[in-house]
């Protein structure tokens, strides 16, 4: 068979193709291939665990998302959740539901992307599962990390007066997605290339280092990651903390490439940055008296910008200011709506 499908290979051969490529560090007592993985814990640390799934046709479109990017993004989304807790990522499990007709080289690409990103983030792939499905490809990842007992970041500690901050850039991934989609649907499309935004959509790098430094310096009163857009994140963090947030729309760190793209399209870069998903940045709050701790953490985040984008309020309304106009923050994205 020249281009075998997963059905041609069968389950055992597929698992063998995957596990043969995985390095197993010494703290993995039992790695992939047994009923479960056995891991040595980190001394004096708490375990952090999270799970997240990507579904073909919902979270990615195989017409313009390379298989490597699918694997990369599935892991990055989980590592972003660990970063939001202040945790150091450590291990991951990869569970695939595969259509029988899927080309085996798509699985290879997906696994390559997953393995490469895991290696770059010093994450061991310790196990997983493969099953067939009559439906679309589903990539379910579970990630494990460790956090210092006094460094746990949660969504619950924001208080009125705290500053609201984000790492990195907002709105880039959404522009990348829109551009990739436009190019896939209109092959002649050449207007305003956005390579950095496309890269950011396809190969996001979670803010593990920033999360660790914010945790280490005790800089944040609350923290979460942005997967479904800033508006959704602000609403969730505010709800968990029982507070309001006033976002300064003019302060959002939207990259120039994304701004230019919106200008050409005639769309609103700020509105898009509020509602666009897939940024995988950290959203966090800082007590005014902890500004020095934040500076300490920020100094150790290399070139990553950290931007103040608003303030926590006692009134529980979620608002956004543009120039001198204050309006309600848009509703967050709801996956079933």
Q: Whole-number minimum distance, CB 130 to a second copy, in Å? A: 7
In this chain, which stretch among 111-119, 153-161, 174-182, 312-320 interacts with a second copy, using CB under 8 A? 153-161
Q: Whole-number minimum distance, CB 321 to a second copy, in Å? A: 26
63 sits near a second copy (criterion: CB under 8 A) = no
2 sits near a second copy (criterion: CB under 8 A) = no
Q: Interaction with a second copy in 161-190: which residues (CB under 8 A)?
A: none
Closest of 301, 153, 302 to residue 219, by C-alpha: 153
Q: Interaction with a second copy in 132-151: which residues (CB under 8 A)?
A: 132-136, 138, 140, 142-145, 147, 149
Find where tokens 């983030």 sit. Answer: 121
In this chain, which stretch among 80-88, 162-170, 296-304, 318-326 interacts with a second copy, using CB under 8 A? 80-88
Q: Interaction with a second copy in 229-288: which residues (CB under 8 A)?
A: 240
Report phi then psi at 15, rounded to 5: -65, -40
Q: Whole-number minimum distance, CB 326 to a second copy, in Å? A: 25
Which tokens go with 195?
A: 């390579």
> Are 91 and 29 within 8 A, CB to CB?
no
Pairwise CA distance, residues 189 & 304, whole Å: 32
**In the set 19, 24, 25, 53, which binds a second copy (CB under 8 A)?**
53
Report phi then psi at 160, rounded to 5: -50, 135
Cβ closest to a second copy, residue 52 vs residue 257? 52
Residue 294's Cα: distance from chain center in Å?
22
Pairwise CA distance, residues 193 & 11, whole Å: 41
Q: Whole-number minimum distance, CB 337 to a second copy, in Å? A: 6
Which tokens go with 311?
A: 């303030």
Cβ closest to a second copy, residue 65 vs residue 175? 65
Cβ closest to a second copy, residue 14 vs residue 243? 14
Size of the site for a second copy (CB under 8 A): 73
SS3 35: coil
Cβ closest to a second copy, residue 39 vs residue 298? 39
Cβ closest to a second copy, residue 127 vs residue 176? 127
Residue 312, C-beta contacts closer than 8 angstroms, at least 6 positions apart: 158, 159, 160, 161, 162, 163, 164, 238, 241, 243, 244, 245, 285
**In the set 2, 26, 36, 256, which binds a second copy (CB under 8 A)?**
36
Q: Whole-number minimum distance, CB 250 to a second copy, in Å? A: 28
Specify which residues 252 forms β-bridges with.
Answer: none
Q: How many CB atoms lie within 10 A of CB 187?
A: 7
The HSE-up count of residue 57 (CA atoms within 13 Å, CB side) is: 4
> Are 236 and 167 within 8 A, CB to CB?
no
Q: Interaction with a second copy in 94-133: which residues (CB under 8 A)?
A: 95, 97-98, 100, 126-133
Q: Whole-number minimum distance, CB 127 to a second copy, in Å? A: 6
Report phi then psi at 139, rounded to 5: -115, 110
Q: Whole-number minimum distance, CB 331 to a second copy, in Å? A: 11
In this chain, which stretch among 39-47, 183-191, 251-259, 294-302 interacts with a second copy, using CB under 8 A? 39-47
Cα separation values, 102 from 60, 135, 255, Å? 16, 11, 37
Q: Whole-number minimum distance, CB 230 to a second copy, in Å? A: 15
Cβ closest to a second copy, residue 77 vs residue 254? 77
Q: Whole-number minimum distance, CB 205 to a second copy, in Å? A: 17
Q: If phi over 0 gives left and psi between -120 and 50 gives alpha, with beta otherwise, what is residue 60?
A: beta
Q: Interaction with a second copy in 206-225: which residues (CB under 8 A)?
A: 224-225
């Amino acid at each position: 068979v020249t281009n075998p499908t997963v059905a041609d290979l069968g389950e055992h051969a597929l698992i063998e193709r995957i596990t043969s490529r995985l390095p197993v560090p010494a703290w993995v007592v039992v790695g992939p291939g047994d009923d479960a993985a056995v891991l040595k814990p980190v001394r004096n640390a708490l375990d952090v665990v999270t799970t997240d799934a990507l579904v073909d046709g919902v979270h990615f479109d195989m017409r313009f998302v390379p298989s490597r990017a699918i694997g990369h993004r599935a892991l990055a989304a989980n590592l972003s959740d660990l970063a939001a807790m202040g945790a150091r990522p450590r291990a991951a499990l990869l569970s695939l539901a595969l259509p029988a007709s899927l080309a085996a080289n798509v699985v290879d690409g997906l696994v390559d992307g997953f393995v490469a990103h895991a290696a770059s983030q010093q994450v061991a792939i310790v196990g997983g599962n493969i099953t067939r499905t009559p439906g679309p490809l589903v990539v379910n990842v579970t990630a494990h990390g460790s956090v210092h007992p006094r460094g746990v970041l949660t969504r619950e500690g924001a208080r009125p007066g705290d500053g609201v901050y984000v790492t990195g850039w907002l709105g880039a991934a959404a522009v990348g997605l829109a551009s990739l989609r436009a190019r896939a649907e209109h092959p002649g499309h050449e207007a305003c290339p956005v390579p950095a935004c496309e890269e950011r959509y396809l190969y996001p790098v979670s803010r593990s280092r920033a999360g660790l430094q914010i945790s280490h310096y005790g800089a944040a009163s609350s923290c979460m990651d942005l997967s479904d857009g800033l508006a959704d994140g602000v609403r969730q963090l505010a709800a968990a903390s029982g507070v309001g947030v006033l976002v300064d729309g003019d302060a959002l760190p939207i990259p120039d490439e994304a701004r230019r793209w919106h200008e050409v399209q005639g769309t609103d870069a700020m509105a898009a940055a509020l509602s666009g998903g897939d940024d995988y940045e950290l959203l966090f709050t800082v007590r005014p008296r902890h500004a020095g701790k934040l500076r300490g953490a920020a100094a150790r985040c290399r070139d990553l910008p950290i931007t103040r984008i608003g303030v926590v309020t006692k009134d529980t309304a979620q608002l956004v200011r543009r120039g001198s106009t204050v309006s309600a923050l848009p509703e967050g994205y709801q996956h079933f709506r």
